Amino acid sequence: MVKVAVVTGSNKGIGFGIVKELLKRFDGVVYLTSRDDGRGKAAVAKLNELGLKPEYHQLDVTDRDSVVRFRDHIKEKYGGIDILINNAGVGNSIDFYPPYEECKTIIDINYFSIFTIQELLFPLVKDNGRILNMSSACGHLSNIRNKDWIERLLKKDLTVEDINEFVNWFLEGVKNETFKYDDIADEGKGAAYRVSKVALSALTMLQQKELESKNIAINSMHPGLVQTDLMLGLGFYDIDQAAQTPIYLVLDAPDSLKGAFVWHDRKVVDWYDYKGDYYFKTNYFIKNCAQKSE
């Protein structure tokens, strides 16, 4: 049976780099997917110029009908998925403190869309398969400063409802203009992105429990500060370098690595270490990237 790897949001950036590396190393079919057909097919053409042959399918993770169409396509053509990398996501605009509608869009794409993927695509992942949720340094618990939410997210019996309430607490606060930005690290810069990725990282650990019976490994990771549109072209790594740890996690990591939060250097980080120095620091990033570009 043909093996299948799927990378969401892979017409550019890290996702594109992951597809390129999978095509070189994975013994099977690799799907490049994108929300926009034109951009997706243009990305396929770039890979074809390198002698690489991905398969392509339109996939908008926020559109249930789109996910259903993709699911049905995979079921009919290949029957299942061996590797699923949930890479699709968006960041803040130039504004570190965007209005409610932008915050909601960030949350919907980066977090709530994963429930559609979980419902429709996770069942296609074969026994012993691997899933990777692309998180961020912004997805570590140390990004949260609100003591009540730190305590709740630390619960051993954390539930999906807890995580959803955390996300909705943030959204309601922004909508009602009651949100206190000192409840988030780094003066609350990029709070929506941080909340979305903290929620995704927490959810990954719950998903691992549900997938254990099929011996599927699911992890989340911080890919590093990469030169992508999300980072406005700034960063310490290009997309080919950034693809190496995701590839390791889905192809080479030991079967025992499950439900973990992994740093870009393959180090497993304690996600619960809310006092740790893992949160994203905007000023440090801008200063160091500026020095590097000089």
pLDDT in tens, 193-223: 999 999 999 999 999 999 999 999 999 999 9
User: Within a 13 Å sphere around the CA of 113, how many CA atoms are in the beta-carbon half?
Assistant: 29
Q: Two tokens at 146?
A: 């609100």
Question: Which distant-in-sequence residues (6+ apart) come within 8 Å of 15 by Cβ?
Answer: 7, 8, 9, 85, 87, 88
* pLDDT confidence of residue 290: 47
Percent of the chain at pLDDT > 70 equals 93
pLDDT, tens only, 117-139 = 999 999 999 999 999 999 999 99
pLDDT, tens only, 50-79 = 999 999 999 999 999 999 999 999 999 999
Q: Answer yes or no: is pLDDT of 288 > 70.
A: no
Q: Two tokens at 70?
A: 């993709």
DSSP helix/strand/coil, 143: helix
How many domains, in total, are found in the chain? 1
Percent of the chain at pLDDT > 90 equals 85
Q: Two tokens at 171?
A: 């959204």
Band of residue 287 on the pLDDT scale cut at 50, 70, 90: low
pLDDT, tens only, 4-35 = 999 999 999 999 999 999 999 999 999 999 99
Catalytic residues: 193
- Neighbour-count burial for 57-83, b at 16+ CB within 10 Å, e otherwise: bbbbbeeeebbeebbeebeeebebbbb
Model's pTM, two decimal places? 0.94
User: Within a 13 Å sphere around the CA of 199, how many CA atoms are in the beta-carbon half?
Assistant: 28
Q: Answer yes or no: is pLDDT of 286 > 80.
A: no
Q: Answer yes or no: is pLDDT of 98 > 60.
A: yes
What residue numbers bound the domain in which 165 lies? 4-293
Average pLDDT of the chain is 93
CATH number, domain with residue 263: 3.40.50.720
